[in-house]
Chain A
Amino acid sequence: MKKALITIAALLLAACGGNEKTSTTGTAAGSAPAAAQGKVVAINGAGATFPYPIYSKWFDEYSKTHPNVRVNYQSIGSGGGIKQLSAQTVFFGASDMPMTDQQLKDAPHPILHFPTVLGGVVPIYNIPGVTAQLHFSGPTLANVYLGKITKWNDKQIAAENPGVALPATDIAVVHRSDGSGTTFIFCDFLSKTSPEFKQKVGASTSVQWPAGVGAKGNEGVSGLVQQTPGAVGYVELIYSLQNKIPFGAVRNKAGEYVTATLDSVTAAAAGAAAHMPDDFRVSITDADGKDAYPISSFTWMLFYEKPSDKERAKIMTDFLKWALSDGQQFATNLRYAPLPKSVVDKELQVLARISS
Chain B
Amino acid sequence: MFSFLRRRSSTSDVKGRRSRDDRGFRLVTGAFAAVVLLTVVALAFELVRQSALSIAKFGLHFWTGKTWDPVAGEFGALPFIWGTLYSSILALLLATPIALGIAIFISELSPRLLRQPLAYLTELLAAIPSIVYGLWGIFVLVPIVRKLELATPEVLKKLPLFKGPPLGVGMAAGAVILAIMIVPFTSSVAREILKNVPSTQREAAYALGATRWEAIKVAISYGKSGILGAVMLGFGRALGETMAVTMVIGNNPQVSTSLFAPQYTMAAVIANEFTEAADDLYLHALIEIGLLLFVITIVINMLSRLLLWSMKRRSAA
A interface with B by C-beta (< 8 Å): 1, 4-5, 8, 11-12, 15, 76-80, 82-83, 100, 102-103, 170, 172, 177-181, 201-209, 212-216, 220, 223-224, 227-228
Please encode chain B, from 155 to 185, with 1 for each CB lying within 8 Å of some chain A CB and 0 for all others: 0000000000101111000000000000000
* B5 and A1 contacting across the interface, CB-CB below 8 Å: yes
Chain B nearest CB, measured from A171 CB (Å)? 9
Interface window among B190-198, B205-213, B269-277: B269-277
Name B34's closest neighbour in chain A (CB-CB).
Answer: A8
Decide yes or no: A76 and B138 within 8 Å by CB, A1-B6, A177-B251, A207-B71 being known contacts. no
Name B69's closest neighbour in chain A (CB-CB).
Answer: A208
CA distance A223 to B279 in the complex (A): 31
Interface window among B94-102, B109-117, B139-147, B220-228: B139-147
Beyond the given A179-B274, A179-B275, A213-B252, could you list 4 further A-B residue pairs with CB under 8 A, ordered by the A residue number? Answer: A100-B279, A103-B278, A179-B272, A223-B139
Select which of B139, B167, B252 is within 8 A of A228 by beta carbon.
Answer: B167
**A11 — which chain B residues lie within 8 A by C-beta?**
38
Decide yes or no: A220 and B279 within 8 Å by CB, A204-B70, A207-B71 being known contacts. no
Q: Tell whether B307 is near chain A: CB-to-CB under 8 Å.
A: no
* A213 and B251 contacting across the interface, CB-CB below 8 Å: yes
* B146 and A216 contacting across the interface, CB-CB below 8 Å: no
* B69 and A207 contacting across the interface, CB-CB below 8 Å: yes
* A215 and B251 contacting across the interface, CB-CB below 8 Å: yes
* B168 and A206 contacting across the interface, CB-CB below 8 Å: no
Chain B, interface size: which category?
35 or more
**A15 — which chain B residues lie within 8 A by C-beta?**
38, 42
**A76 — which chain B residues lie within 8 A by C-beta?**
275
Name B274's closest neighbour in chain A (CB-CB).
Answer: A179
Of listed B6, B165, B246, B272, residue having the most chain A CB within 10 A: B272
B interface with A by C-beta (< 8 Å): 2, 5-6, 27, 31, 34, 38, 42, 67-72, 138-139, 142-143, 146, 165, 167-170, 246-247, 250-253, 262, 264, 268, 271-279
CA distance A311 to B173 in the complex (A): 55
* A205 and B278 contacting across the interface, CB-CB below 8 Å: yes
* B70 and A206 contacting across the interface, CB-CB below 8 Å: yes
* A79 and B277 contacting across the interface, CB-CB below 8 Å: yes
Name A96's closest neighbour in chain B (CB-CB).
Answer: B276
* A179 and B277 contacting across the interface, CB-CB below 8 Å: yes
CA distance A170 to B260 in the complex (A): 15
* A78 and B70 contacting across the interface, CB-CB below 8 Å: no
Chain B nearest CB, measured from A221 CB (Å)? 11
* B276 and A205 contacting across the interface, CB-CB below 8 Å: yes
Rank and list the top 10 A-B pairs by shortest CB-CB distance, nearest first.
A179-B276, A214-B251, A77-B275, A177-B251, A202-B71, A79-B278, A205-B276, A208-B69, A213-B250, A213-B262
CA distance A212 to B250 in the complex (A): 8
Decide yes or no: A220 and B275 within 8 Å by CB, A4-B5, A4-B31, A207-B70 being known contacts. no
* A206 and B277 contacting across the interface, CB-CB below 8 Å: yes
* B167 and A213 contacting across the interface, CB-CB below 8 Å: yes
CA distance A110 to B201 in the complex (A): 77
Name A214's closest neighbour in chain B (CB-CB).
Answer: B251
**B42 — which chain A residues lie within 8 A by C-beta?**
15
* A177 and B272 contacting across the interface, CB-CB below 8 Å: yes
Decide yes or no: A227 and B143 within 8 Å by CB, A79-B276, A80-B275, A213-B251 being known contacts. yes
* B169 and A213 contacting across the interface, CB-CB below 8 Å: yes
* A102 and B2 contacting across the interface, CB-CB below 8 Å: no
Supply 11 A–B pairs (Cβ within 8 Å), ascending by A.
A78-B276, A79-B276, A172-B167, A178-B273, A179-B275, A204-B71, A205-B273, A208-B70, A213-B169, A224-B169, A227-B139
Of listed B138, B139, B268, B278, residue having the most chain A CB within 10 A: B278
CA distance A170 to B166 in the complex (A): 10
* A213 and B170 contacting across the interface, CB-CB below 8 Å: yes
Decide yes or no: A212 and B252 within 8 Å by CB, A77-B275, A83-B278, A202-B71 being known contacts. yes
Chain B nearest CB, measured from A10 CB (Å)? 12
* B250 and A223 contacting across the interface, CB-CB below 8 Å: no
* B167 and A179 contacting across the interface, CB-CB below 8 Å: no
**B275 — which chain A residues lie within 8 A by C-beta?**
76-77, 79-80, 178-179
